[in-house]
Amino acid sequence: MPESAGRYSVRVEFREFDGKKVQRPSLDLEDVRAESAGFRGEFAYDLASLVGADQAGVVGEGEVVRSMVKQVNLAGATLDPLDMRDSVFAGIDFSRAKLPRATAQRIELVDCRAAGVQLTLLQASDVYAEDCQFDYGIIRIDRVKHAVAFSGCSFRETLLAGDLSNVVFVDCVFAGTEFEATAAAGCDLRGSTFEGVKGLLSLRGARISSEQALSAAAAIAAESGLIVRD
């Protein structure tokens, strides 16, 4: 983990991004107990520490509440539905995983691999992802409550769809990314890099920098039906 374990406590703490606050998990690691990680079939974890299990390809449904999940392999897993609350997921492999009906409330994801993930968040409230790889995936958010933040994440050739309002992207990579936003008021993409992105016109109300506007001008012109010739 990038910070000491003691940062997760019952105290109310926030990450702040240019006035937007993301509440951190209400999780005290002194209260969790070690359990075997098993995501096959029905599961319900509360105040659990789940470390280092191979759960690739499992099919399951359930909830993870007030728990720490580390170094678990969920590549190719199908978890439907999945309810995540007040929990931290670190070093998880979600590659090619299918999570078509997930909810996330006060969740942190750190250093996770999720290439090819198919994720639909029915509701995302106070979600923070750091140094995660979401390349070649499909991520859809039906509803954002409060704020969601991605820091240092990669979205190469990923489809980002749905409600992107109050979603902050800090130092993220968008290369061949396609946006299909249904709402984008309060979305902030400043500081991230654009290359070959599509669907920028769906991001009405989002914030970008002047430098980003120059790099995205050709894509915006093409989407608008303009023909640019010298």
Do 80 and 61 touch, CB atoms closer than 8 A?
yes
Per-residue model confidence (pLDDT) at position 223: 75
Give domain status of residue 5, yes or no. no
Q: For 105-122, what is each residue's pLDDT tens digit? A: 999 999 999 999 999 999
How much of the chain, in percent, has pLDDT values that exceed 70? 93
Give domain status of residue 155, yes or no. yes
Q: Partners of 20 in the beta sheet?
A: 17
Structural domain count of the chain: 1
Confidence of residue 8 (pLDDT cuts 50, 70, 90): low
Per-residue model confidence (pLDDT) at position 2: 42
Per-residue model confidence (pLDDT) at position 4: 38
Which structural domain, as residue segments, surrounds residue 208? 12-223
Q: For 132-141, what is each residue's pLDDT tens digit? A: 999 999 999 9
Per-residue model confidence (pLDDT) at position 1: 39
Give domain status of residue 178, yes or no. yes
Give domain status of residue 92, yes or no. yes
SS3 category, 91: coil
- Identify the residue whose tokens are 């609350």: 85
Please count the other Cβ atoms lying within 10 Å of the Cβ belonging to residue 220. Answer: 14
Q: Partners of 99 in the beta sheet?
A: 119
CA distance 109 to 87: 9
Per-residue model confidence (pLDDT) at position 6: 41
Q: For 158-215, what is each residue's pLDDT tens digit? A: 999 999 999 999 999 999 999 999 999 999 999 899 888 999 999 999 998 888 777 7
Per-residue model confidence (pLDDT) at position 130: 96
Give domain status of residue 229, yes or no. no
Give domain status of residue 1, yes or no. no
Q: For 53-68, what is each residue's pLDDT tens digit? A: 999 999 999 999 999 9
Q: Report the predicted TM-score, pTM, of the whole model to 2 decimal places.
A: 0.90
Mean pLDDT for the chain? 91
Amino acid at 91: G
Do 55 and 76 touch, CB atoms closer than 8 A?
no
Per-residue model confidence (pLDDT) at position 228: 62
CA distance 168 to 187: 6
Please give the full DSSP string across 69-125, using - where no structure is assigned. EES-B-TT-EEEEEEEEEEEEES-B-TT-EEEEEEEEEEEEES-B-TT-EEEEEEEE
Among 4-18, 34-48, 73-87, 134-148, the minimum mean pLDDT is found in 4-18
How much of the chain, in percent, has pLDDT values that exceed 90? 77
CATH number of the structural domain spanning residue 123: 2.160.20
Give domain status of residue 230, yes or no. no
Confidence of residue 28 (pLDDT cuts 50, 70, 90): confident
Give domain status of residue 20, yes or no. yes
